[in-house]
Structure 1
Amino acid sequence: MNNTVEPELVSAVVYGCIMVLGLPLNAVSLWILLRRHSLRSPNVVFMVNLAISDLLLAIFLPMRVYFYATGTWPLGSSVCILTTVIHQKNISCSSIFITFICVDRLLAVVYPLRSRHLRTSSNAWKAVAFVWLCLVLVNIPRSVSLSRALKNCTVAVCFEYHHCSTPFKSGLVYFYVALVFTMLAVNVVCTTLVSWTLHSHLSDSAKVRNKVNVMLIFFMNLVMFTVCFIPLSVGLLTIKGTAIRPWAYLATMNCCLDPLMYYFSLDNFWKKKEDVDLETREE
């Protein structure tokens, strides 16, 4: 009996802690980004969408906490599917938007003049709109599969599809794993190029602090992938049942770590919008 209860309580506690941290952190971060920063900066556009993705995840975590704490799901299959899809697709959103931020910083540091026509808010909004549209389209067949899996369950259950009589498998898992590793490769390449560029211009001591902040952005991105995204990706291919939960905890923690990236990415994170707009025009 204890062997079945303990993992559920651990899940409830872990997701509860992530919710307590992630919800206010992302709500405040989104408020600061929208109120104090100009959406004319592509970097801010990507960060706003990343914060929205993380905030959606945190908002739906209480339902997951309730399920693991009580062992019941009274909200029906539709809410279960919505909660599951938002939780799973947050990883895809985060990895893509983090990579967008990484590429934007690469262009700003390595190709500042040649990339001016690319690094516009218009292009940034087009990119994030394309990402959201693709995720919605991909989730349509995913939601249908989840619905069928729930119908095959002999008990009222949500999130734990290994209880279903028909095993739930999807080719989208392989696509997700390939996406994460591709995004990781892009981040590694960007980090290497930016590190080499900054190292070759370290003679300007007045800008050493800014260079350190830039490298902290890339360091945070790589930490996010290696700690949060990669373990879950490998686990999805090699682990079955409840054994995947520790890696799911790590992946969910990304919503608590992302606000640190906003702070390092924007040296003027706490400044008023008027001052930020001036600096954006000068960039």
Structure 2
Amino acid sequence: MYNNSTNDNSSCDDEFPFQKTLYATTYILIFIPGLLANSVALWVLCRFISKKNKAIIFMINLSVADLAHVLSLPVRIYYYISGHWPFQRFVCLLCFYLKYLNMYASICFLTCISLQRCFFLLQPFKARDWKRRYDVAISAAIWVIVGSACLLFPILRSEETKEDFCFANLGYRKIKPGNLFGYIILAELAGFVIPVIIIAWSTWKIVVSLRKPPIALQVIENQKAKRMVFMCAAVFFICFTPYHINFVFYTMVKGEVFDKCATASQGTVYFHPFSLCLASTCCLLDPIIYYFMASEFRDQLSRHGSSVIRSRLMSRESGSSVVS
């Protein structure tokens, strides 16, 4: 039942003392590894992989989504350590927006990777006719749709608050319970339920297909597809499932549909920062997909990495010979 009274709720904590420390620590641990891993991945995927099929286009877009969030982490770290926001309000809302853009773009691209690898495995002849421009068009559509939908997050959190407040301390706009329920259902269906069904179906179809005796030439390809889809499923469930399970109840608590002083409501608010931090770890786990699941990525990274080492050794040897 919707609770119109706010007097009793005002005494309940909206956040816990550990939250700022948790956010700052998590983002510090993610920033440098996430920046390096995704930068190298994007460099290799874009520059050295000429055959852009087997979900490579989706991997490139997934890396871009991760980098967008990683690059916003320094200001988040500064805010949670200092407790003060010295920048413009627009910068706060932009960084807040990038967090959810990364989350839902990652969900969509992980879903596309799983579905495409499953399709290519089950329909190898149809896969030959698949054009790279199809992946480009799908990726562009995802950015437009997800980018537009995620605008709701900063809009709902753009309620007037103190000028030096940002992120977790942003206020919530008051919305009607009916509109809130509609928003929750839409976000859960499009952003979690449908993707999890697709990823689970892709994983199941690949497991079933591997039980059949494969053609000798398909054994390696089948194993690659299995590892790829399993890794996508693991990243999805580790990073995004806890947040979306908690999201339904957390949004209702913040919208005052549930009494936020209740024990269950306090538990939901308590778990929220942990689920957000788990969602951010996708920036570290996604590069594992590129390296361990895409043979082209491993080959190109090792080939060009060794060539760089050889060129440096040769330059040092030539320099030493000139001196001697």
**CA distance in 2: counterparts of 1:125 and 1:225, whole angstroms:** 22
- 2:58 aligned to 46, 59, 69, which one? 46
Superposed displacement of residue 99, structure 1:
0.8
Q: Find the counterpart in structure 1 of residue 225 from structure 2.
A: 214
Superposed displacement of residue 140, structure 1:
4.1
1:154–1:164 contact (8 Å) kept in structure 2: no
Q: Find the counterpart in structure 2 of residue 113 from structure 1.
A: 125
Q: Find the counterpart in structure 1 of residue 140 from structure 2.
A: 129
Q: Find the counterpart in structure 1 of residue 164 from structure 2.
A: 156
Superposed displacement of residue 155, structure 1:
5.5
Q: Supply the AA of the counterpart residue of 2:171.
A: C
1:232–1:251 contact (8 Å) kept in structure 2: yes
Instruction: Give yes or no for the alignment of 1:104 onto 2:116.
Output: yes
Deviates further, 13-22 or 245-254: 13-22
Deviates further, 208-217 or 42-51: 208-217
Q: Find the counterpart in structure 2 of residue 253 from structure 1.
A: 281
Instruction: Give yes or no for the alignment of 1:7 onto 2:19.
Output: yes
Deviates further, 237-246 or 94-103: 237-246
Structure 1 gap ranges (5+): 276-283
Cα deviations across residues 24-81 of structure 1 (Å, max 9, x unaligned)? Answer: 1101111110121126426111100000000111111111111111101111210111
Q: Supply the AA of the counterpart residue of 1:71.
A: G
**CA distance in 2: counterparts of 1:15 and 1:28, whole angstroms:** 19
Q: Find the counterpart in structure 1 of residue 39 from structure 2.
A: 27
**CA distance in 2: counterparts of 1:232 and 1:140, whole angstroms:** 19
Larger Rg: 2
- Tell me how many residue pairs correspond in the alignment: 266
Give me the identity figure in percent: 23
Q: Find the counterpart in structure 2 of residue 189 from structure 1.
A: 201
Superposed displacement of residue 115, structure 1:
3.6
Q: Structure 1's 271 and 12: CA in aligned 2 closer, same or farther, altered over 3 A?
A: same
Cα deviations across residues 99-140 of structure 1 (Å, max 9, x unaligned)? Answer: 1111111111000112433x3111111101111111232244
The SS at the match of 2:296 is coil
Deviates further, 171-180 or 72-81: 171-180
Q: Find the counterpart in structure 1 of residue 96 from structure 2.
A: 84
The SS at the match of 1:269 is helix
Q: Supply the AA of the counterpart residue of 1:248.
A: L
Q: Supply the AA of the counterpart residue of 1:256.
A: L
Q: Supply the AA of the counterpart residue of 1:159.
A: F
The SS at the match of 1:93 is helix
**CA distance in 1: counterparts of 2:151 and 2:200, whole angstroms:** 32
Q: Find the counterpart in structure 1 of residue 239 from structure 2.
A: 228
Superposition RMSD on alpha carbons, in Å?
Answer: 2.5
**CA distance in 1: counterparts of 2:162 and 2:143, whole angstroms:** 34
Superposed displacement of residue 173, structure 1:
4.2
**TM-score, normalization: structure 1?**
0.85
**TM-score, normalization: structure 2?**
0.75
